[in-house]
Amino acid sequence: MNTNLNNFNRKELWHTSPNEIKEIYNSLLFDDCLFFSSEPYVMTSSNIVFYYTLKLSDDEVIEREQFYFLSCQELEKIAPVLNEIKNLLNCTADEAHDYLIKDPDYWSLFKDAEEASEKSWRMQALCGKAACLLGYKACQDKDEQGSVYIVPMTGRLKALTLEKIEENGTIKWTK
């Protein structure tokens, strides 16, 4: 992990939710991870949307492709994640490391679209978990919306800032 303490490269990242976030909990697919982007986008059909920001500096984020360059010691730190990938995708240890770096073609591995989607989402959470085990606060990846920041949030609820609430098209700023 980069230990540079200056924060001149801080990012303001956005997360939207149909529900107010009052606690962080683990879900089966995403563990404690929330997903952020550099610009807000909404993926809910709810009449109410809560807009949150989180500030991170560049040295708190690992890009997914950087998992390729891990030392043997760092690979040992993320062994639980690699084992989970092996079990999730029924693959070898080398394939698990490859899949941590870059997604497999889920739709060729799993013919059922729902299962392929769930495996893909679970892998995103595992990338966040690997980042956390390595001392980072987030893993930057790409999805259908562009860059996504996968952030394990246990113990970090206070790092979220509620910026605004949109209800039936009306925006209420919280600041």
**Helices 93-101 and 113-133: crossing angle, nearest 10°?**
90
What are the tokens at 110?
């799993």
Joined together, the tokens standing for residue 172 give 């209420």
- Burial tier of 118 (Cβ tally within 10 Å: 0-12, 13-18, 19+): middle
Closest CA to 143 of 49, 30, 47, 32: 30
Output DSSP code: residue 102. S
For 78, counting Cβ atoms within 10 Å of its Cβ (0-12 exposed, 13-18 middle, 19+ buried), the class is buried
Alpha helices (H) along the chain: 72-77, 79-89, 93-101, 106-109, 113-133
pLDDT digit string (tens) for the chain, length 175 residues: 444 444 457 789 999 999 999 999 888 788 999 999 999 888 888 899 999 999 999 999 999 999 999 999 999 999 999 999 999 999 999 999 999 999 998 888 888 999 998 999 999 999 999 999 999 999 999 987 789 999 999 999 999 999 999 998 898 888 7
By the 10 Å C-beta count (0-12 exposed, 13-18 middle, 19+ buried), 153 is classed as buried
Task: Give the pLDDT score at 4.
Answer: 46
pLDDT given for residue 108 in this prediction: 87
pLDDT at 144: 79
DSSP class of 15: E
